[in-house]
Structure 1
Amino acid sequence: MQNFREKADLIWKVADLLRGDYKQSDYGKVILPMTVLRRLDCVLAPNKQKVLDYLPKVASLKESARDLTLNKIAGNNFHNRSKFDFEKLKADSDNIAVNLRNYINGFSTSAREIIEYFNFDDQIDRLDDPKTDLLYKVVKEFEAIDLTDMDTMQMGYVFEELIRKFAEQSNETAGEHFTPREVIRLMVNILFNEDKEILTKDGVVKTVYDPACGTGGMLSVAETYLNELNSKAKLEVFGQEINPESYAICKSDMLIKGQNPSNIKFGNTFTVDGLEEEKFDYMLSNPPFGVDWKKASKIINDEATNKGFAGRFGAGTPRINDGSFLFLQHMISKMKSNGSRIGIVFNGSPLFSGAAESGESNIRKWIIENDWLEAVIALPDLLFYNTGISTYIWIVTNKKNEERKGKIQLINATGEKDEELLKEGKIKFNRFWEKMQKSLGNKRKQVAENGNTKGIGFITKLYGDFEENDFCKIVPNEFFGYWRVTVEQPLKENGETVTDKKGNPKPDTSLRDYENIPFLQKDTDGKLVPQTIEEYIDRDVKPHLPEAWVDENKTKIGYEINFTKYFYEFKSLRPLSDIKAQILALEESIVEAEKTVLD
């Protein structure tokens, strides 16, 4: 993986040429499309001359037929029939703008449309200044950067590193983060784990979708995984992306890999679903954290109100400043009736934000009561480039196996418990993460990719074993449900209870209180069993407030997943004698140190 750093650094240095003529926030308008062009140029290089030699033979064909024929000669889903490549562009500095446009126009339709999303033609005009000769200098520098030996995963890292740096330059980091490949690999491992028997069959064809696909990292890793598992299987990838630069990069990557680039759609997934009629076998996503959906609110609210569960947002809408649950509901709407599996990365907010019967709580209720939530995995912090916050993988499916039905698996892969054991000398390494040799933005940790005792393999094994241990809890769906009840006490005047016309006591609003009563409680053996509101009130409220009652008309149902609480372990305080002995020992060592200094 070190190779991608070297390439990214080389490309980033080209941006120095733009200093003074471009604002730092605009560097990406030049560097990103040029990186795509150079990448396409390197991919086509081996067969470029064959395409040019064959060109006269297809001159009379329609463009669509000509493209198909020349694509085959090029050995890719695209070709370039211009006489120019980067080497020849560099050789003619006097006509660089005209020649570069000729080169871009020489791409087949699918590739040319990708470049158009960068609006790069405007930058050619801006760079083509004879006083600075910037356009020629940029082309010359890129010609010296060889991207031939880069695989799609490495190029994904290059693009994401460049976009991250450009975002930092323009202060556009809020909500923008890219998914480390090892996190995607973990998600894919778990998503495909239950279907390995199906996926190893000859000729199997499956589909995977990402509604916020960015530069296509999720889709690329899923495709690579399936190819490693079964070279005779085919995974068709689909996605949608709102950022034009990321969209163009993703589409170029799909083009190079032989996927159908028309499966990648541009635009806001919520306002214009580019794949409205499609359903998918697998879905993966890492939607932006904490990004508001105010601009799309009218369309989303109208769909929720008018279509209900026939649309995408029938379960409810979350608060306006976090659209995470909108992405998940959208993905659920694309599950196949015979079964689909979803993996999505969230921050902590979707686990517990929102009171009973709020939008978030109702969405959790809908997912859990339909028995779709299969697992939640807490990841280590400092895994992502532009945020150090804690993150969670949710696994959602409408085809749980018999063992998992009615249950939800919680996996604590933060590594916090390992840190304690490491300090105590009980283990030799952290089983969940390792420090990076060099940080990438806020990313200082990575999930190891080797064996069943560490990292991806260990977490996947915890998931697959489906057994309770220090890192894994398995609970019934009802475990996360609760009643939000209003507890009233009688209004008193001169020591007497005030009643209404029917003789019922009037509540004293100043004494009103609220209780969250879990659907389940632990019995004397520690086993989870159902409880009623009445049982809870009689047991935990009446002994202290004998006249209290519950206003049943105000009772609400809520669902939340307080992840940290489930793995909390009470640690008894150290004995006072131990603390006293340590203090005395410290005092004694200080006295000895003073004597040494004074002497």
Structure 2
Amino acid sequence: MSTKAIDQSDINKAVWAACDTFRGVISADTYKDFILTMLFLKYISDLYKDEYNKLVAQYGENPELIRAMMSKQRFVLPEGASFWDLYEKRYEAGNGERIDKALHAIEEANGSKLKNVFQDISFNTDRLGQEKQKNDLLRHLLDDFGKDILDLSSERVGSLDIIGNAYEYLIKHFAAGSGATAGEYYTPPEVSTLLATVLEPVEGDQICDPCTGSGSLLLKCGAMVRKNSGSKKYALFGQEAIGSTWALAKMNMFLHGEDNHRIEWGDTIRNPLLKEKGGSRLIHFDVVTANPPFSLDKWGFEDASNDHFGRFRRGIPPKTKGDYAFISHMIETLKPETGRMGVVVPHGVLFRASSEGKIRQQLIEENLLDTVIGLPEKLFFGTGIPAAILVFKKQKTDNNVLFIDASREFKAGKNQNQLTPENIQKIIDTYKARESVDKYAYLASFDEIKENDFNLNIPRYVDTFEKEADIDLVAVRNERVQLKGELQTLEAEMEGYLKELGYGA
């Protein structure tokens, strides 16, 4: 194995190249789980082998002592379950079955830390074709991850970040090709950065994302605490409804070294699992943030009127649009003194009437809404529609609402637009200043919003109209006369050329 240190781009290219094994055979939305799981298995295997070799070098061949010391590591890798055990047998039949057994053994050996993480991920599946094709595909996959470039030992990697970043790189690229399903597990990093910066998580905070996805938003909040305070004294909480996506989040947390987390698998609206002991009350958090599914149909309307936690006391959202179901849930999980919240929503949430209008009005009357930030279109994978961020606070210093229209400032891409660091900084500076900015932001009073019937449509508050320049009719006439003269000259020259060529009358 190579001992040369690797950089981020090297590992990103290598893990993305490993996808070639599956391209043209199955869809990326299917094989993403195989690639991400194999990266996880390879990393923990190399890390485990690295630690084992260090102990052998220090204490000599003393199997019982070394086994006892290895049991105190961050995780346990059972005998026969490492990547290298699978790699050595890759030419034998039964690759799919062996990989599944290894993953199951790792689950069992690590208790709650990795419990059920791999239960929705099976390498021994007919989706990879009949047995011979499946075995060959998995042999190629093991070959790809066994190359020297993907030696993930600590002396080459240097820190957890490079592996966690590679994991995020893969998730982003899978999201780019997954169409409508991408929103189930991925929030663009620029949006995560914006939310984490605005919400300012600090040392000691309990931070929750009730629609965890792959966990990128929670990880960004954790990184923000470490950046601002140098402390790892915070706790991450989450819940995710889709089993395979929940597994991505658990692996993502592990690869980023975020051991102080609790992420539950289940439907947040129908069955919230982040409850205090006894189960009668929801846990309250300092920071709650999420990018919920937009206007979710079949969100749990039928049971909402009997909700045990009083989440829908302001009203029950429409049967076919669950946006305010998630907002209502998040509001009810905020701590009364420190609670602050940021949620990504479609623009319809700002102005739709009926039951949504009534809920929106009560939230504003309770002085919970702090800021509305309009984002550019084509920012999120899977949808081209523009979105907005709503910021809520339990303790506000005024009863105003700041409106920011950042919809026109972005870096245009072929398929996706992107917020640049400058775009993000402008939003943050405006948010902190909390003042009106011509054609960009407006600080609206409660009375102004009330006069607008509690409609939060951003153009009602931020006037972005650009007056067209006055037309100088005299200049236009002079230009027209000049062009007519030039045209007559060109026609005379053309006629002369035609006569020289024998086409004249």
Q: Return the offset for 1:270.
A: 0.5
Q: Return the offset for 1:86.
A: 2.5
**Aligned partner of 2:420 among 431, 445, 448:** 448
Residue equivalent to 1:36:
40
Matched, 1:395 2:388: no
**For residues 510-525 of structure 1, what are the structure 2 equivalents within 5 Å?**
518=452
Q: Which segments of 5 or more consecutive residues in structure 2 lack a partner in the other structure? A: 1-7, 276-281, 497-505
**Aligned partner of 1:158 among 163, 170, 174:** 170
CA distance in 1, matches of 2:169, 2:433: 32
CA distance in 2, matches of 1:297, 1:264: 24
Report the structure, 1 or 2, having the larger strand content. Answer: 1
**Aligned partner of 2:19 among 12, 15, 30:** 12
TM-score if structure 1 supplies the norm length?
Answer: 0.69
Distance 1:326 1:131, change over 3 A: closer
CA distance in 1, matches of 2:11, 2:126: 27
Q: Return the offset for 1:597.
A: 4.9
**Aligned partner of 1:279 among 279, 284, 292:** 284
Q: Is the 8 A contact 1:82 1:102 kept in 2?
A: no
**For residues 172-571 of structure 1, what are the structure 2 equivalents within 5 Å?**
172-173=180-181, 176=184, 178-192=186-200, 199=202, 204-260=203-259, 263-276=262-275, 277-292=282-297, 294=298, 296-303=300-307, 311-354=310-353, 358-400=354-396, 402=397, 405-415=398-408, 432-435=409-412, 442-443=415-416, 445-449=417-421, 454-470=422-438, 471-482=440-451, 518=452, 558-566=453-461, 567-569=463-465, 571=467
Q: Is the 8 A contact 1:312 1:333 kept in 2?
A: yes
Distance 1:23 1:473, change over 3 A: closer
**For residues 113-128 of structure 1, what are the structure 2 equivalents within 5 Å?**
113-120=115-122, 122-123=124-125
Question: 2:306 is matched by which residue type in structure 1?
Answer: D
Matched, 1:140 2:143: yes
Q: Return the offset for 1:458.
A: 2.1
Question: 2:92 is matched by which residue type in structure 1?
Answer: D
Residue equivalent to 1:80:
77
CA RMSD across the alignment: 3.3
Identity %: 21
Q: Secondary structure at the match of 1:89?
A: helix
Q: Return the offset for 1:301.
A: 3.5
Distance 1:162 1:55, change over 3 A: farther
**Aligned partner of 1:90 among 80, 87, 92:** 87
Provide, for residues 25-51 of structure 1, a one-character-per-residue CA deviation record: whole Å limited to 9, x for no partner: 643454443343334334444224468
CA distance in 1, matches of 2:62, 2:488: 91
Distance 1:24 1:411, change over 3 A: closer
Q: Is the 8 A contact 2:209 2:237 kept in 1?
A: yes
TM-score if structure 2 supplies the norm length?
Answer: 0.80
Q: Secondary structure at the match of 1:94?
A: coil
Question: 1:481 is matched by which residue type in structure 2?
Answer: K
Q: Is the 8 A contact 1:213 1:239 kept in 2?
A: yes
Q: Is the 8 A contact 1:177 1:386 kept in 2?
A: no
CA distance in 2, matches of 1:71, 1:592: 92
Q: Secondary structure at the match of 2:389?
A: strand
Distance 1:255 1:173, change over 3 A: closer
Q: Secondary structure at the match of 1:27?
A: helix
Question: 1:349 is matched by which residue type in structure 2?
Answer: G
Q: Return the offset for 1:96.
A: 5.2
CA distance in 2, matches of 1:349, 1:106: 47
Question: 2:464 is matched by which residue type in structure 1?
Answer: Y
Q: Is the 8 A contact 2:187 2:380 kept in 1?
A: yes
Q: Return the offset for 1:330.
A: 0.5
Provide, for residues 263-302 of structure 1, a one-character-per-residue CA deviation record: whole Å limited to 9, x for no partner: 101111011101033111011111112321x262212243
CA distance in 2, matches of 1:177, 1:130: 32
Query: Which range moved further: 182-191 or 30-39?
Result: 30-39
Distance 1:26 1:390, change over 3 A: closer
Q: Is the 8 A contact 1:409 1:475 kept in 2?
A: yes
Provide, for residues 183-222 of structure 1, a one-character-per-residue CA deviation record: whole Å limited to 9, x for no partner: 1111111111xx7xxx4xxxx4111110111000101111
Q: Is the 8 A contact 1:468 1:474 kept in 2?
A: yes
Q: Secondary structure at the match of 1:446?
A: coil
CA distance in 1, matches of 2:217, 2:444: 29
Distance 1:458 1:592, change over 3 A: farther
Distance 1:146 1:475, change over 3 A: same
Distance 1:101 1:180, change over 3 A: closer
Provide, for residues 513-572 of structure 1, a one-character-per-residue CA deviation record: whole Å limited to 9, x for no partner: xxxxx4xxxxxxxxxxxxxxxxxxxxxxxxxxxxxxxxxxxxxxx421121233233625
Larger radius of gyration: 1
